[in-house]
Amino acid sequence: MRSIISLIVPLLVVPSAVFADDSGLQRCRGLADPTARLACYDALGSAPSADVQGQRFGLKAPPSEAMQAVVSHIPGKFEGWEPKSRIRLANGQVWQIVDGSRGAFQLVDAKVRVRRGALGSYYLDIEGHNTSPGVKRVE
């Protein structure tokens, strides 16, 4: 009896993914395009790929999310912001100013970085400027 228990207990701690249907693996193996195949395999894993993390950056996410910043640019002419302004980045993300700050600029295709701050806050860094308004992701 003891030997049977010693065989069963390790099976209980093996992740269920090991026993999952391998149809996903078969589907990925069948893709001819290497990029699509890699993306398929990434989607099967338990951790999201960097691209997926970038798309989710700033939205409600577990505190263990590893990504600390996302880099993009503001397409076209950027003249600044005021409280509650919304800023659309080239990657499709929309961030809203949440502090009382204002900024006036005359920039074109301004390079920006949205970085994680303390206690779930986010800040918008604009390349070449030392102003970082507090923001929250709205889209």
Within-domain flag for 59:
no
Domain that holds residue 31: 2-46
Instruction: Please write down the HEC assignment for all residues of 43-62.
Output: HHCCCCCHHHHHHHCCCCCC
Query: Same domain for 23 and 77?
Result: no
Within-domain flag for 81:
yes
Within-domain flag for 36:
yes
Within-domain flag for 20:
yes
Count of domains in the chain? 2
Query: Same domain for 23 and 78?
Result: no
The pLDDT assigned to 27 comes to 80
pTM assigned to the model: 0.56
List the end-to-end C-alpha distance of the chain, in Å, as a whole number.
Answer: 57
Kindly give, in sequence order, each residue whose CB lies less than 8 Å from that of residue 86, ignoring residues fewer than 6 positions away: 94, 95, 96, 97, 138
Q: How confident is the model at residue 16 (pLDDT cuts 50, 70, 90)?
A: very low
Dist. CA 115–CA 5, nearest whole Å = 50
The pLDDT assigned to 65 comes to 55
Kindly give, in sequence order, each residue whose CB lies less than 8 Å from that of residue 43, ignoring residues fewer than 6 positions away: 49
Query: Same domain for 33 and 74?
Result: no
Q: How confident is the model at residue 12 (pLDDT cuts 50, 70, 90)?
A: very low
Q: Is the pLDDT of residue 49 over 70?
A: no
**In this predicted structure, which of 24-33, 82-91, 106-115 has the lowest mean pLDDT?**
24-33
